[in-house]
Structure 1
Amino acid sequence: MSHYRLLFLAVLALAAIVGAYLFGRKEAASTAAPLMSAAATEQPIGGAPGSNLAMVAQASLNFDRGARLPPLGAPLKSVYAQLQAQANAGDGRAAARLLRDLSRCSRQRAVEWSTMRNTHNLTEQKTENLSAAQLRTYQALLDTAAIRQRGVDEGRALCEGVGDEILDTLNANLAQAARLGDADARACYLSRGPLYDPRGLLKQPGALSAYRREATRLIESGLAAGDWRVVDLLRGAYEPGAQTLLAGLVGTDVNRHYRYLKLYRLGAESFRVAQIDRQLALAEASLSPAQRAEADEWAQSTLRENFSGDSTAGTPQGWDACGPLDG
């Protein structure tokens, strides 16, 4: 194998390891103010915790929304009942923290496997014929692999003993965090709903009915909060031919597609304007002048009342609505 080909493979391995590290590392718990509605104190959507964790429902009575959270990094198994009880009682901070811990633990096995595979591939490389520059690159790869392993070890400590009964509440807690005002959870839930954890959905098929009930309220809260991610999800969902879960819920509607696309266009950065204008021209061809005028006025007034900043800054092409939760 030539030096150039080996260096190329080493760079690829570095990219894979860094990507996997970032994938499993994030554990921030940023949450918006809780929604002030009666729904805030309901059980999480898609099923309450299992019978062996029935104490959670009773424990909910003992927590208020201002109760202190367990220390970050505490083993999830030991703090799950407390976090779940606080989330059930309407504590948005606890819901956001629990969601991110559950999300990380649901991916822990995959992260461990990919790390082991990448490390094995890296250490199997022959180094005796490498140049000085190639050896420096190889050492950087080894250093990154060590950092990645520390992240795996942290995840293992967080997730030790966490079984399916806890992990199966991931979808329900995604919905609860969204309901309590976590903007990241709201965008993810609107985009994927209970498909965020397909294995959990197979065990709790009623979560799809819950998604149908809850999505409209979350759309309204997202628009009221000026969340451009919700606008982008809606303009895509209403577009003819869309195949997303949200599209299946709202149905095709060229008028509404144009309406949300127009709002998105009003907040767009300059380099995205030309492309969006082409999409608008295609959509408006199906509208009457009166429909177009009404939609334009709605977009202008909604922008003034609820939105600020750039619509495209937080929604680059190909963005993943669940990316902030996936890490």
Structure 2
Amino acid sequence: MKRGVSIAAGLIVVAAAIVGAYFAGRAGADSARRELRIQAVAENAGAAQADTASAIALPAPTKGAALPAPGTPLKDNFARLQANANAGDAAAATRLVRDLDRCNRLRSTQWRNAGATDALTRRSTDGMNAAQLRTYQALLEAMELRQQRAQQEQAMCDGVDERMLGSLVPNIAQAAKLGDEQARACYLERGPLYDARGLIRQPDALRGYRATATKLVEAGLAAGDWRVVDLLQQAYEPGSQSLLGGLLGADPVQHYRYLKLYRLGAEAHRADQLDRQLAAVAAGLSPAQLAQADAWAQNTLDTGFKGRSTDGTPPGWEACDF
């Protein structure tokens, strides 16, 4: 009996490792300008892209060019995608970010996959009951799918060098500027911290983040982007440790405003939790502040936001899940 329990426990651990490896790589702009209280710093946010362009010869941009077929080796298309992204091609910028991110994650994914595969294949099936054997077979099939996916990723990423990978963060910023909502959320939340190695090489990227983030917040609010609202309510919360929070600074009134706006657009099953959060924040505000914030949130919802705020922002959502 103890052996069966041990085997089952081991399978659960292995399953967790495999599942984790498998899924690792998931209004008002005008009023916002007055409220964010950010002093923009004039920086060339495309400096890192210029460095990449000087290191890798880029062709002339091709307006309206079709994107490469999915899975095409990135090294063969990097220069063209980069040139078109730099010229304002939103589709090229989005594709470049996704492919670079997949290649950037590949090494760590392969390492985790190798460990999970080794642990699974070493496990003995002696003593397993029928249910355990079915689970084991399902895990083997999942492992096979992961191996196939890894081979496809490897083929796409062969030849992608450090210079190309080093352009990931500035390309996220470029895609965000061109309207990619996922890239916008990622850059606002993580900015140059998304690639800490690159930040060490280019510390000035943090100054570029200040100016770029300001414009992205305004663009996100103008577009009715609920991701930006959620990021703002978290950033303004006293005690926030996020990069965006460091830029904006703690502000209970602004925290309440954006949390209230988020609550007004929320699904019913999230309402109670959000109401408790609002009540805790409201305890430190005056009646006048609350009245003004409530009116602002309702007006902003009516004039600039549609859909449900919680649809794309479940608890623990990942801003950089490309």
Alignment TM-score, normalising by the size of structure 2: 0.89
Distance 1:62 1:111 in 2: 33
After TM superposition, give the deviation of residue 45 of structure 1 in Å: 5.8
Residues 191/81 of structure 1: CA separation in 2 closer, same or farther (3 Å cut): same
**Aligned with 2:72: secondary structure?**
coil
Find the partner of 2:210 among 204, 209, 212.
212
| Mapped contact 2:45–2:205 kept (Cα < 8 A) | no
Aligned-partner residue type, residue 320 of structure 2: C
1:55 counterpart residue number: 57
1:49-94 alpha-carbon deviations (Å, 9 max, x no partner): 43664422xx2x3322x21111111111111001101100101111
| Mapped contact 2:49–2:171 kept (Cα < 8 A) | no
| Mapped contact 1:238–1:253 kept (Cα < 8 A) | yes
Residues 240/84 of structure 1: CA separation in 2 closer, same or farther (3 Å cut): same
Q: CA RMSD in A?
A: 1.8
Give the unaligned 5+ runs of structure 1: 27-41
Pairs aligned (count): 304
2:171 counterpart residue number: 173
Distance 1:51 1:236 in 2: 36
Distance 1:278 1:128 in 2: 52
Distance 1:49 1:154 in 2: 30
| Mapped contact 1:45–1:175 kept (Cα < 8 A) | no
2:292 counterpart residue number: 294
**Aligned with 2:309: secondary structure?**
coil
| Mapped contact 1:49–1:166 kept (Cα < 8 A) | no
Distance 2:153 2:136 in 1: 26
Matches within 5 A, 1:4-15: 4-15=5-16
After TM superposition, give the deviation of residue 270 of structure 1 in Å: 2.0
Aligned-partner residue type, residue 19 of structure 2: V
After TM superposition, give the deviation of residue 122 of structure 1 in Å: 0.8
After TM superposition, give the deviation of residue 321 of structure 1 in Å: 1.3
Give the unaligned 5+ runs of structure 2: 27-43
- Higher mean alpha-carbon deviation, 138-147 vs 166-175, is at 138-147
After TM superposition, give the deviation of residue 199 of structure 1 in Å: 1.0
Matches within 5 A, 1:93-242: 93-242=91-240
After TM superposition, give the deviation of residue 207 of structure 1 in Å: 1.1
Aligned-partner residue type, residue 12 of structure 2: V
Distance 1:240 1:194 in 2: 23
Distance 1:76 1:43 in 2: 24
| Mapped contact 1:191–1:245 kept (Cα < 8 A) | yes
2:4 counterpart residue number: 3
Distance 1:158 1:44 in 2: 26
Residue 17, structure 1, aligned to residue 18, structure 2 = yes
Distance 1:225 1:62 in 2: 28
Distance 1:253 1:23 in 2: 34
| Mapped contact 2:45–2:208 kept (Cα < 8 A) | no
Aligned-partner residue type, residue 6 of structure 1: I
* Overall identity of the aligned pairs, in %: 54
Distance 2:281 2:139 in 1: 49
After TM superposition, give the deviation of residue 241 of structure 1 in Å: 1.2
1:38 counterpart residue number: none
The structure 1 segments of at least 4 consecutive aligned residues displaced by more than 6 Å after TM superposition are none
Aligned-partner residue type, residue 249 of structure 1: L
Distance 1:183 1:133 in 2: 44
| Mapped contact 1:17–1:145 kept (Cα < 8 A) | yes
Aligned-partner residue type, residue 135 of structure 1: L
Alignment TM-score, normalising by the size of structure 1: 0.88
Aligned-partner residue type, residue 253 of structure 1: D
After TM superposition, give the deviation of residue 22 of structure 1 in Å: 2.3
Residue 245, structure 1, aligned to residue 243, structure 2 = yes
